[in-house]
């Protein structure tokens, strides 16, 4: 068979607007390094707790290896409902077990967004939001959260038009670590109700909140698609189990679309997540708060860094003396340190993302290198 087969003229036009993420590029460059100090990766550094592993193994042994019903097994949906009631004080109309949070986001966007709709996205944003909105043919409208990554309701209100379909909310945030206050959330809920908007709220880091109680906009606004999951909190990103909760009419359409895409979330992982619902992750949360403090204190005063209140990321400003984020990240790579340019998450090229989901020794060595790089 010939090499370099040309597919010009055959690929769908939509793919011309989608390129490999900046995160993926760093992974590819990092593959060439020997034992790098990896502060780039977006997954917990701890392993799946043993009781959950054992539950997965037992599920496989019991033959829980076939398709489940599309919406996920009943006991897990009921457990998710109870979890939402406990955390947020309300019972959603419907829930759906999805193939990771990514699967929930794709289903949600496909069921909500028409070509030509305006979709409001935060800047900075998680890379997938922009791609999904583009796939749906939406017009991207960004609400700016710089410099301290807070919600400005007045700014958002000024962006709303008769074409605005939904607003994407991500708290705790990837990449900034911002967690919105109850007052910010209530103000946004009132604005969305006044304009009859849908909120897609990505809350996958809801177990990693460090300084104040976490507030979900779903508590205050009924037209919210709440998305979360098990992958970050329990060290199981490869198991691909997320969930969506919200209005039954929307969730029913998402279930129908899941039948023809993901079919169902992995069966043995669903059964294991029944055990995960009863596993306490408070120790990991405390550990990550200490790591957050280590980063904030270790980079002060060399870096401008808004202390992350949640998730396991910081989003510092690139030091003076570097022309842009990519130049700085390439310099870090030369020191065997993996971080991600902020432009992978933003229209700006002034910041970089680091993950503190790492053991303390590696984190300390990364901080030491960053402090050396602060004065080019």
Q: Of 168, 312, 313, nearest to 227 (Cα)? A: 168
Question: Do 243 and 335 belong together in one domain?
Answer: no
The last residue of a domain, from among 276, 306, 321: 276
Provide the CB-side half-sphere exposure for 100 (13 A, CA). Answer: 13
The last residue of a domain, from among 223, 249, 276: 276
> What residue numbers bound the domain in which 287 lies?
13-47+281-373
- What's the domain count of the chain? 2
Q: What is the pTM for the complete model shown?
A: 0.93
Give Dmax (Cα) for the chain.
Answer: 62
Question: Do 144 and 267 belong together in one domain?
Answer: yes
Sign of the alpha-carbon torsion through 310, 313, 315, 320: positive
In a domain, 246, yes or no: yes
Question: Do 147 and 197 belong together in one domain?
Answer: yes
The last residue of a domain, from among 276, 310, 332: 276
In a domain, 56, yes or no: no
In a domain, 61, yes or no: no
Reported as a single tens digit per residue, the pLDDT across 155-209 is: 999 999 999 999 999 999 999 999 999 999 999 999 999 999 999 999 999 999 9
Question: Do 162 and 182 belong together in one domain?
Answer: yes
Q: Residue 63 — very low, low, confident or very high, per pLDDT cuts 50/70/90?
A: very high
Mean per-residue pLDDT for 69-85? 97
Q: What is the pLDDT of residue 9?
A: 82
Reported as a single tens digit per residue, the pLDDT across 128-170 is: 999 999 999 999 999 999 999 999 999 999 999 999 999 999 9
Question: Do 320 and 307 belong together in one domain?
Answer: yes
Q: What is the pLDDT of residue 161?
A: 97
Q: What is the pLDDT of residue 345?
A: 96
Six-digit token string for 247: 């209005």
Question: Do 247 and 183 belong together in one domain?
Answer: yes
Average pLDDT, the chain: 94
Question: Do 269 and 310 belong together in one domain?
Answer: no
Question: Do 35 and 143 belong together in one domain?
Answer: no
């Amino acid at each position: 068979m010939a090499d370099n087969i040309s597919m010009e003229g055959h690929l769908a036009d939509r793919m011309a607007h989608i390129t490999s993420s900046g995160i993926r590029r760093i992974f590819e460059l990092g593959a060439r390094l020997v034992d790098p100090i990896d502060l780039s990766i977006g997954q917990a550094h701890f392993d799946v707790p043993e009781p959950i592993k054992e539950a997965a193994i037992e599920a496989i042994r019991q033959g829980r290896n076939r398709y489940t019903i599309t919406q996920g097994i009943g006991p897990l949906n009921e457990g998710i409902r109870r979890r939402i009631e406990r955390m947020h004080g309300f019972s959603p109309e419907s829930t759906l077990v999805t193939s990771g949070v990514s699967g929930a986001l794709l289903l949600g966007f496909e069921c909500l967004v028409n070509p030509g709709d305006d979709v409001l996205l935060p800047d900075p944003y998680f890379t997938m939001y922009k791609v999904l909105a583009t796939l749906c043919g939406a017009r991207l409208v960004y609400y700016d959260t710089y410099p301290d990554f807070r919600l400005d309701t007045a700014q958002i209100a000024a962006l709303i038009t008769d074409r605005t379909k939904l607003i994407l909310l991500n708290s705790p945030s990837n990449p900034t670590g911002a967690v919105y206050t109850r007052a910010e959330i209530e103000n946004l809920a009132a604005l969305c109700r006044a304009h009859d908007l849908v909120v897609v709220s990505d809350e996958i880091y809801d177990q990693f909140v460090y300084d104040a109680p976490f507030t979900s906009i779903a508590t205050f606004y009924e037209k919210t698609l709440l998305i979360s999951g098990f992958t970050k909190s329990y060290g199981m990103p490869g198991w691909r189990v997320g969930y969506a909760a919200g209005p039954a009419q929307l969730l029913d359409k998402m279930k129908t679309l899941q039948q023809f895409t993901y079919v169902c979330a992995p069966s043995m992982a669903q059964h294991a997540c029944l055990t995960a619902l009863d596993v306490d992750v408070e120790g990991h949360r405390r550990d990550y708060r200490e790591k957050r403090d280590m980063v904030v204190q270790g980079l002060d005063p060399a870096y401008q860094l808004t202390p992350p209140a949640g998730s396991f990321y910081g989003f510092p400003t690139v030091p003076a003396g570097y022309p842009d984020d990519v130049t700085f990240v390439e310099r870090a790579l030369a020191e065997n340190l993996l971080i991600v340019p902020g432009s992978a998450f933003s229209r700006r090229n002034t910041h970089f993302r680091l993950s503190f989901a790492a053991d303390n020794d590696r984190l300390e060595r990364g901080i030491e290198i960053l402090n050396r790089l602060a004065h080019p």
